[in-house]
Chains A and B, each alone.
Chain A
Amino acid sequence: MSGPNTDFDPVEVTAVQPEEVEAARDAALAAIAAAGDLEALKQVRIDHTGDRSPLALANREIGALPPQGRKEAGQRIGQARGAVSQALAARQAVLEAEAEERMLVEETVDVTLPTDRLPAGARHPITTGSELIADIFVAMGWEVAEGPVIEAEWLNFDALNLGPDHPARTMQDTFWTEPEDHGLVLRTHTSPVQARTMLSRTPPIYVVCPGRVFRTDEYDATHSPVFHQVEGLAVDEGITLAHLKGTLDHFATQMFGEGITTRFRPSYFPFTEPSAEVDLVCFVCRGAGTLDGAACRTCKGEGWIEWGGCGIVNPRVLAACGVDAERYTGFAFGMGIDRTLMFRHGLEDLRELFEGDVRFTTAFGSELG
């Protein structure tokens, strides 16, 4: 090998020796193989492929060779450089993979560490339970009707065939607003919503009315002056008690599972005639009355749970609300949402629903929807 051929004097130039090219290539390949990390490989790259590397210098001298020697020298040096370049790329890939492997090990964290920086929120089971019920009926083509909680006496009582002398109209049962003779009450049931619906729409009517209601009950484990009800009303041509039974059976099955149906017992409500109490097959013991050899606690061994009241809408109610009782019949039902939640979730004390303890509410998650 010689110095820079500055004057292009062919006489001074000697042919590139094949042995030297091979030696330079081999030295480069050995250095590449010996590079232990990416940093070392970088130095190898500079030493063996940089501008001052033997192969680069040899390459530069090709132009100075006599034409008859250029082709062969060019081929030889090109092959050597190609081999070095390939080896470098291969070694680079290996070393990069090794480096990433190490990095992944180094970056390992304890993924079981807590992640609750923002505490979980939750909606209340009365809300989600009401929505679950609403959705069951909406899926049947019903609608959800609502109304005010402070209500006119006529809508809460008279229109529903609870006449002026009905016992529920006393101060012992009903919250009245001042002055008492102004005839405004905290609604004692969601039935005024049924009346409002019939007054404002023409049949067919299929509505459920979930909502908050009030009675002057003492506050204890099973009673509350503020509680929640869902009522349903269907008014259409040809509605019968059988449709009521079918609807409640479907409701029960959707809410509590296959096989949980209802039974009727004769009862009395001013707004329905005939009237019935609705019992639900106990969904804990599935009607057996016993569980693991002992009386079922949920239904107290009865196999049935009292769920609510229902019946055929009294034609007097239809008349007061402007529905043609000759053409249409209707059915209505009602049950407590809080009570339904109590036995569905095995709650011992109704008051837990109204205390606002976040541990209680968050426990329900999204099971109710």
Chain B
Amino acid sequence: MKAPVSWIREYVDLPADLTTEDLAARLTALGLKLEAIEKPGDQIRGPLVVGRVLTMEPEPQKNGKTINWCSVDVGDANRTGEPQGIVCGAHNFAPGDLVVVILPGGVLPGDFEISERKTYGHLSAGMICSAAELGLGEDHDGIIVLPADAGEPGEDARDVLGLREEVIEFEINPDRAYALSLRGIAREAALGFDAAYRDPADRKVPAANNDGYPVVVDDPAGCPVFVAREVSGFDPAAPTPEWMVQRLAQCGQRSISLAVDVTNYVMLELGRPIHGYDADKLIGPVRVRRATEGERLTTLDGVDRALSPEDLVVTDDSGIIGLGGVMGGETTEMSETTTRVLVEAAHWDAVSMFRTGKRHRLTSEAGKRNERGVDPLITAAAADRVVELLVEHGGGTAEPGVTVVGEAAPRAAISMPAELPAKVTGMGISHDVTVRHLEAVGCEVDASSDPLAVVPPTWRPDLTDPYDLVEEVARVVGYDQVPSVLPREAAGRGLTRSQRLRRRIGHALAGAGCVEVVSFPFVGDAAFDRLGLPADDPRRHTVRLANPLSSEEPSYTTTLLPGLLEATARNLGRGASGVALFETGTVAFPVDRGPTPIYGVDWRPTEDELAKMLDTIPDQPLHLAVVLAGERERSGWWGEGRQAGWADAVALVRRLAGELSVPLEVRATAYAPWHPGRCARLLVGGAVLGHAGELHPQVCRSVGVPVRTAAVEIDLDVLMASAPEVVGGPEISTFPVAKEDVALVVADTVTAAEVEEALRQGAGDLLESVRLFDVYTGAQVGEGRRSLAFALRFRAPDRTLTDAETAAARDAAVARAAERCGAVQR
């Protein structure tokens, strides 16, 4: 909302020396936030004067343009009194017109200095200005032609153009709709400076009678008050007075015609949207009702709209003529032939206004005010003000008929304990201060008892609860007066286990050389195709968005790999030789358990109701993904680097499992998007944790990362749930260790993990550790077989093992491997 300072000052006696900055700062402290201060004349210096064009001679030029060589009377402003010779490229004026002239020595916005200069064969002494050149708008159609009575040649044009005006633009919060008017802003200014206030809506209006235009309201809930007034004999060609054009422009509105400008002006002045009809186009009584299914209306913006039974419409005998409170229809629109104007000032139900605006995607200045709530008491005053201005400037006659249907409902009192503001704000606000400040914002307060009975003013539909009144008192006292006090300390339980574990996982990965990425969780089928996921892969069953940002990525992702691979390719594209990235984030899987229930808000839903609601929410496990591409270890003076591979991916998961003391089981599997022969399925306690290994070469090519890129994706919720809360301390034996190496030949379909597990089981309690240290394939072990060499370490907690004991344990281990895995000792 833009507010010219002079307009604010019309209604409130502010100190004469108050700067615009200080006014804006005070209003911001009261809740009308300063957005910008405009000082249109600020960048213009030197002589800017009114001039009268005496002669103009069109002179065609070689470049195809025609310029006008003008002689302009600028009075004594040029100190000679002689007419000024000026070249002008515009053509929208004629001799006798008053124009705006900047004389040599002046400066226009953009530090554009004006001097006498030779151009098109003349000495041009100044410039005839357009609105754009003065920084007053984008209008490049020509120069400014002032009204004939604007002033005398030689007078300073700043006053004529309103260039001394300063305009404050406020950001108005939705609860302060009253401040979408000069009436409301001035009231706040009066409050802020404890200054006298004159309410522009406080005017004598003619009493309602039965002679006015007939109006029927079928839906008084939707339209509680409807005032209709009529002006006849109106001159549709009458110009809008310059001061009104300027004020509208300062408020960001273009002048259209006197009738339209007057309704807009009164809306800005009082906050009450007004609609004007061409009364000669109306047939029969005006009626307000809800639309019925199937009805249509072409609104003023030329859009043909299908109406809903919730829409409030205005009709006459011809049918629907307007969308009540939101936008009028084309058939009864005011035009350049309108001589009889029916002025509608109606109070509309705010919720209906909001819904209609939303349904039809219609935003208008009127709609914005009507849907936030307008003072219902000023309908008659607003209509009367419009009639006054139309008559004054359009030369018509105010018809004596005054139609008023309905009346504003009285407001109920809010009961508020007098100490509530002090209790809620922590400021020492006394009973008296509370009452005084509530009255200052316009409330009627019955302070004879506690709780106070507070009737909010009619322009404040937002004040409904005691806490709303607390805010009013607090902002008048001043938010800067709120003391800074820490609440009493709570006995907090610190971070949760999951929060601590996630930090450890992040630190472990960063310690292992991985860089964390945060990417968007949106994905589309193309990404799944690139990963080579089978058609029936559960990861393709996504939570889809009704209104995705991009139709290419309409789903919440089920895997973190697409985003991570994209970031990998981006880093490689930017010159990285090796990339190790990780991301932790939630993925989502639909549960398809029907719509989520919506409960009331007056009391807490029951446990059953809550459970039912939570049950409809998709599963959102926390995933971790890692991508390792290119060099895992760099080349350098130490020698060749090492490319990342499947083992690096599996090693990272083993490391994380170790961090969390979770025993990890690794099994070979084939699972997209991994290489079918280089993919590990990772399990904890029988549950699938995720997968790690090298990506399928086809996937690497599709997503643009090097072949052999390795990746991990695991479910962190599963991992964290498996982490023991308390790890039992190990028993460390100090007796000597007995070492035994065994080489076992197995079929190459048998995994090392299987052999190791068999050895562990067979070796029994004396086994301290087993570690595979060599893998051999070749002629010595035969086709389709390989030799796995394990180092076994035996130790007893209470004695030195004898050779016989060690040998027996070793033999038992080998025997179990032979039995379970077909292993043959070499």
Contact = CB atoms under 8 A, between A and B. Distances in A.
Given A171-B547, A242-B425, A266-B31, A158 B468 contact: no
Interface string B601-619: 1111100001001101110
A136 interface: no
A302 B426 CA distance: 28
B117 interface: no
Interface residues of B, number: 109
B617 A240 contact: no
Interface stretch (A8-16, A42-50, A176-184, A281-289): A176-184
A319 B594 CA distance: 27
Contacts of B597: 154, 183
A274 B425 contact: yes
A123 B505 CA distance: 10
A241 interface: yes
A247 interface: yes
A144 interface: yes
A114 B546 contact: no
A183 to B, nearest CB: 4
Which of B564, B566, B604, B636 has the most chain A CB within a 10 Å cutoff?
A: B604
A171 B424 contact: no
B9 interface: no
Interface string A321-361: 11000000100000000000000000000000111111101
A250 B486 contact: yes
Interface string B495-507: 1100100010011
B336 interface: no
Contacts of B514: 121
Nearest to A325: B467
14 contacts: A118-B632, A121-B512, A123-B506, A123-B516, A143-B493, A167-B358, A176-B547, A241-B427, A249-B484, A265-B31, A316-B601, A322-B603, A355-B570, A359-B574
B663 to A, nearest CB: 25
Contacts of A159: 601
Contacts of A356: 515, 517-519, 563-564, 566-568, 570-571, 581
B494 A138 contact: yes
A154 B599 contact: yes
A312 B545 CA distance: 34
B754 to A, nearest CB: 31
What are the nearest 6 A-B pairs in CB distance?
A242-B426, A356-B567, A322-B604, A240-B426, A266-B31, A274-B471
B586 A148 contact: yes
A142 interface: yes
B313 to A, nearest CB: 20
Contacts of B176: 268
A264 interface: yes
A150 B509 CA distance: 27
B174 to A, nearest CB: 6
Interface string B574-602: 10101111000110100000111111111
Contact of A274 (B173, B354, B474): B474
Interface string B503-541: 100110111111111111100000000000000000000
A113 B637 contact: yes
A245 B483 contact: yes
A243 to B, nearest CB: 4
Interface in A200-232: 204, 206, 212, 216, 219, 225-226
Interface string B423-451: 11111000000000000000000000000
Contacts of B556: 150, 177, 186
A183 B491 CA distance: 37
Contacts of B174: 167, 268
Given A138-B492, A184-B618, A356-B570, 14 more contacts: A121-B512, A122-B515, A124-B518, A141-B491, A149-B620, A153-B596, A176-B546, A183-B595, A241-B424, A242-B426, A245-B483, A267-B31, A268-B173, A361-B515
A149 B31 contact: no
A355 B474 CA distance: 44
A291 to B, nearest CB: 21
Given A131-B503, A242-B426, A182 B486 contact: no
B484 A261 contact: yes
Contacts of B33: 265, 267, 277
A276 B33 CA distance: 11
Interface string B557-568: 000000110111
Given A117-B633, A265-B31, A312 B599 contact: no
A353 B482 contact: no
Given A154-B596, A241-B474, A315-B467, A354 B484 contact: no
Contact of A183 (B496, B598, B601): B598
Given A119-B578, A121-B513, A362-B515, A242 B596 contact: no
A242 B571 contact: no
B588 A241 contact: no
Nearest to A164: B598
Contacts of A268: 31, 173-176
A121 B547 contact: no
A142 B492 contact: yes
Nearest to B588: A150
